[in-house]
Amino acid sequence: MKRLKWVLLIAGMLVFDFANAGPAAKFAATYTDERPSLVSVVVIDGATQDSLVFDLSTGYTLATLKVPQDKELLIGVSSEVGIVTDTSIKGRNGGDAKAIAGGGAAVVVFAVPVDGANGTAAIAAPGPVMLSARVQELSATLGGVIESCEDTLGGGELGDEPDGVIDVATECVVTDEEIGLALSTLASHHFNFVLPNMDQGEYNLVAFFVTGALAKVDINELSVSEGGTVEASAYAKAFLGKTMVTAQQVRATKGGVIDADIVE
């Protein structure tokens, strides 16, 4: 009976300790379920001269966490990133051009002391990170579509009779041919950041997102001067979908957070 009492007493003490103990690590999270957000869009339609367009969108999300002296913060950033690129070239008679479309999304994480709180602002290692990026380039030299031809010139003493040879440039009806390439992707991406040896205080942990879109057309002017006809179009869009930012207060082992090169 006495042994049973001791067992019950110890069990009760353990239950009391577990009920009153705080978590091993403090944790905060914030998320968005909007789709899409931070949309960057550019369009070049039917350009016959060199053209370049760029668009940029920015936004942020934050979480708040109290940090004791000399603790580390482990921060994870996850986001859906969508990129749409569409390029096309239309021309004839040797017209030559390039159509380029690209997009991407990046993030940087930093900590800012809450108003009136102690602490020092800091950027999380390893700094800005590209979550996703893609550049699509379409290059083409187009001869066109021959609709009909008639041998009308080149023969006879005056050169005004058929000579049995077709000159495409002068004796054929040629219409434009067109080629295009379009890609659309949506994928989830994740990266971990760390803020080492933080000063004591309450911090806003900010994940600052950037999306960018670029469209470019490069016309080969020599091909145009030699009789070619060409025009090019480019469209690009980059955006964010759902995002999640998690922050955890941890204690790294001594020398556990280092900036090291990859050994080949």
Residue 112 reports pLDDT greater than 70: yes
Alpha-helical regions (H) of the chain: 2-20, 168-171, 221-225
Inter-residue contact 106 to 132 (CB < 8 Å):
no
Mean pLDDT of 186-213: 92
* Of 135 and 251, the one with more pLDDT: 135
Query: Rounded to whole angstroms, how far apart are CA atoms 191 and 211?
Result: 16
Residue 5 inside a domain? The answer is no
Mean pLDDT of 104-128: 88
The DSSP 8-state label assigned to residue 3 in this structure reads H
57-78 per-position pLDDT tens digit? 999 988 888 888 778 889 999 9
Grouping H, G, I as helix, E, B as strand and the rest as coil, residue 169 is: helix
The predicted pLDDT at position 21 comes to 39
The DSSP 8-state label assigned to residue 126 in this structure reads T
The pTM of the whole model exceeds 0.95? no
Query: Rounded to whole angstroms, how far apart are CA atoms 139 and 144?
Result: 15
Grouping H, G, I as helix, E, B as strand and the rest as coil, residue 121 is: coil
Mean residue pLDDT of the chain comes to 84
Residue 262 reports pLDDT greater than 60: yes
Query: Rounded to whole angstroms, how far apart are CA atoms 46 and 221?
Result: 15
What residues form DSSP beta bridges with 107? 129, 209
Residue 66 inside a domain? The answer is yes
Among 169, 163, 132, residue whose Cα is nearest residue 149: 169
Tokens representing 169 are 């440039």
Mean pLDDT of 33-60: 95
Residue 7 reports pLDDT greater than 60: no
Residue 150 reports pLDDT greater than 90: no
The predicted pLDDT at position 96 comes to 96
Residue 28 inside a domain? The answer is no
Residue 243 inside a domain? The answer is yes
Residue 104 domain boundaries: 34-143+177-250
Which of 18-22, 104-108, 129-133, 164-168 is predicted least confidently?
18-22
Distances (CA, A) of 48 to 55, 96, 151, 185, 220: 21, 11, 32, 29, 10
Grouping H, G, I as helix, E, B as strand and the rest as coil, residue 124 is: coil
Which of 3-17, 77-91, 192-206, 238-252 is predicted least confidently?
3-17
* Number of domain units in the chain: 1
Residue 239 inside a domain? The answer is yes
User: What type of residue sits at position 157?
Assistant: E
Residue 145 reports pLDDT greater than 60: yes
Residue 197 inside a domain? The answer is yes
User: What type of residue sits at position 124?
Assistant: A
* Of 39 and 121, the one with more pLDDT: 39
Residue 129 inside a domain? The answer is yes
210-257 per-position pLDDT tens digit? 999 999 999 999 999 988 999 999 999 999 999 999 998 887 665 656
Residue 9 reports pLDDT greater than 50: no
Grouping H, G, I as helix, E, B as strand and the rest as coil, residue 36 is: coil
The predicted pLDDT at position 19 comes to 38
Contacts (Cβ under 8 Å, ≥6 apart) of 35: 80, 240, 241, 242
Residue 2 inside a domain? The answer is no
